[in-house]
Amino acid sequence: MQYTGVLKKMNTELLDTVQYYLDMNTDFINVNQLLNKTIEMSFVTYECLSCGLEKEIYRQGFCRSCFFETPSAGDWIMRPELSKAHLGEEDRDLEYEKKVQLQPHIVYLANSSNVKVGVTRKTQVPTRWIDQGAHEAIEIVEVPNRYLAGITEVALKEHVADKTNWRKMLKNDIEDEDLTKWQERLKSFIPEEAKEYFIENNKETEIKFPVEQYPEKPKSLNIKKEGSYTGKLVGIKGQYFIFEDNTVFNVRANEGLVVNIKVKS
């Protein structure tokens, strides 16, 4: 079997164990079924996720010009506190920004290698947590727009991490934390404007990933540079493929690359 298509982050489903799906143009692959199989992956070319042209990918699956022009790559994506649609102010395309920013957002705590705070649209729970490789997470504040979520995150960042250590996450070098206790501890640091949106009596979500063998020393595969790679898939966590020889491949960081995947045995 072989598939060719442009890489986009894997779709996921939170069942007993997370199910992963890779959309490869004409085929929709359940990646869990490739576990314990040897896979050959080769770099073919580029395909920008916005304009669809064969142009080198700059960031987030976009070519350079799309990255600086498309409404879905505005600065407020990575820095929610810069959101301005609630004021009726345009960044790149006000209609688009209203649609995305003026909807319920969640400020959460997720534990992937350490406890961190993050922001996501409510519709992206628990997808966002799975993408980060969090084994546990909890919603702490639900606000009506992205701006309020952004300023809450900025305030809480003073007291809790906002980044994941991907090596620790992949090695499963993790500790269980009581996230409801963290939530109580952080409550008083929530900004005035968002205090009324604090979620009381919430429970942690536990997430189990399909990993049979964790890498001891994860080394990241650069498929553009290597051209091709062959290895046995032994796990999937976050948006990473984990191979038997400690090689890991971040699907999300390679969005916009066209690859060929051959399932060998």
Cβ burial of 42 (10 Å; 0-12, 13-18, 19+) is: middle
* Residue placing its CB nearer to Zn ion in the complex, 56 or 162: 56
Helix (H) or strand (E) holding 185, with range, is: helix 179-186
For residue 15, the minimal CB distance to Zn ion (Å) is 35
Which residues neighbour 237 within 8 Å (Cβ) at sequence distance 6 or greater?
A: 133, 169, 170, 172, 209, 211
* Residue placing its CB nearer to Zn ion in the complex, 51 or 154: 51
Which residues neighbour 150 within 8 Å (Cβ) at sequence distance 6 or greater?
A: 76, 79, 80, 81, 82, 83, 119
* Residue placing its CB nearer to Zn ion in the complex, 6 or 119: 6
For residue 255, the minimal CB distance to Zn ion (Å) is 12
For residue 23, the minimal CB distance to Zn ion (Å) is 19
Spatial separation of the C-alpha atoms in residues 28 and 185, rounded to whole Å: 43
* Residue placing its CB nearer to Zn ion in the complex, 50 or 145: 50
3-state secondary structure of 171: helix
Contact of 57 with 48, CB cutoff 8 Å: yes
Residue 211 carries which DSSP code? B
For residue 68, the minimal CB distance to Zn ion (Å) is 10
Residues in contact with Zn ion by CB under 5 A are 48, 50-51, 63, 66
For residue 223, the minimal CB distance to Zn ion (Å) is 20
Spatial separation of the C-alpha atoms in residues 1 and 43, rounded to whole Å: 17
* Residue placing its CB nearer to Zn ion in the complex, 52 or 227: 52
For residue 70, the minimal CB distance to Zn ion (Å) is 8
* Residue placing its CB nearer to Zn ion in the complex, 59 or 167: 59
Residue 84 carries which DSSP code? -
Which residues neighbour 160 within 8 Å (Cβ) at sequence distance 6 or greater?
A: 109, 115, 116, 117, 182, 186
For residue 253, the minimal CB distance to Zn ion (Å) is 17
* Residue placing its CB nearer to Zn ion in the complex, 57 or 155: 57
Spatial separation of the C-alpha atoms in residues 100 and 122, rounded to whole Å: 11
